[in-house]
Amino acid sequence: MNNTTGVTQVMFQRPVKVLLSMLPCLLFLYINGIMLFALLRKPLLLESSRYILFGHLLLTDSLQLLVSMLLYIFAVTMVRMISHVCIVVTLFATVTVKMSPLNLAVMSLERYVAICFPLRHADIATARKAGVAVAVMWMLASLDSFTQLFLFVSLENTSFTLPTFCHITSVLRLQIYSTLNKAYTTVYFVIVSMIIIYTYIAIMITVKSASSDVRNTTKAHKTVLLHLLQLCLCLTSTLFNMINSSSTWNINPALAIHIQYTLFVGLIIFPKCLSPLIYGLRDQTLKHAFKYYFTFGFTATVKQFPKS
């Protein structure tokens, strides 16, 4: 009884935590929305597979931030849901978590083709193939969730009101769900990691051997290094549900909530906030369009007198 009271007090008496997690979500939802709007306002960019994949990354990151923010608010306010609603929301959140590393891996492959096979890049990385890649990514990311939903409908399919806030372990209570999720996440983590490491090494070898411009080589190295950092952070976020398990914390419940909050901000919120900074603001074309729409057109006079 004392533990329950302590947990409730920790959740309701920490408005600073809510602000620290919600404000970055709202800020980067706005930034992602501005970048998506800038992409849509430039149809020529959407003919490039690179910008199609980046726009899809912004969309999936925004969906994950939105769902994560809603689930966190539901947890803090102790909103009780019907089991069927909870399972749909949590499984969709799981899909969005898996989408970002897949998207970044495909973006890494696109950069690999552009740098290592520049003459074939226009034929390989087309807008149509980028659309096919997006469909395949959604299918792979949804495979685990659809399997768990099928097992739930087949084995249980019971509707009840959750005694606490919505969490996937509150609905999928059988051991088979946890085993399936851990197996799928492990395979998923290994495959995407292999793609990241291979493309990183191949790109760096090609850049160092082919480029005679030290400045361009350094710039390419920094870009690929940031790419690798973002991919690693997003891959780590896929392990959140495995780390953030109630059976893992054999400690005081109040301390467990602090640790889970840190994992939530560090593994879910923080990697999503880096995507627009690493990819969008470092791209000169998107950077100028973003500044224009972000400041509501006040920077339109920055480059109004071209000399050529």
Tell whether 277 is covered by a domain: yes
User: What range defines the domain where residue 195 resides?
Assistant: 14-294
Tell whether 5 is covered by a domain: no
The total of structural domains in the chain comes to 1
Tens-digit pLDDT profile for residues 249-273? 566 666 666 676 777 777 777 776 6
Tell whether 62 is covered by a domain: yes
Lowest mean pLDDT: which of 10-19, 33-42, 198-207? 10-19
Tell whether 145 is covered by a domain: yes
Exposed/middle/buried for residue 293 (C-beta within 10 Å: 0-12, 13-18, 19+): middle
Which pLDDT value is given to residue 297?
A: 62
Q: Which long-range contacts (CB under 8 A, 24 or more apart) does 73-77 make?
A: 73/18, 73/22, 74/165, 74/166, 75/11, 75/165, 75/166, 75/167, 76/11, 76/12, 76/18
Tens-digit pLDDT profile for residues 20-55? 777 778 888 888 888 888 888 877 778 888 889 988
Q: Are 272 and 50 in contact (CB under 8 A)?
A: no
Q: Please work out, in degrees rounded to the nearest 5, the angle formed at the alpha carbon of residue 4 by the alpha carbons of 163 and 76.
A: 65
pTM of the full structure: 0.81
Which pLDDT value is given to residue 206?
A: 79
Tell whether 244 is covered by a domain: yes
Q: What is the CATH number of the domain that holds 211?
A: 1.20.1070.10
What is the DSSP-derived secondary structure letter of residue 289?
H
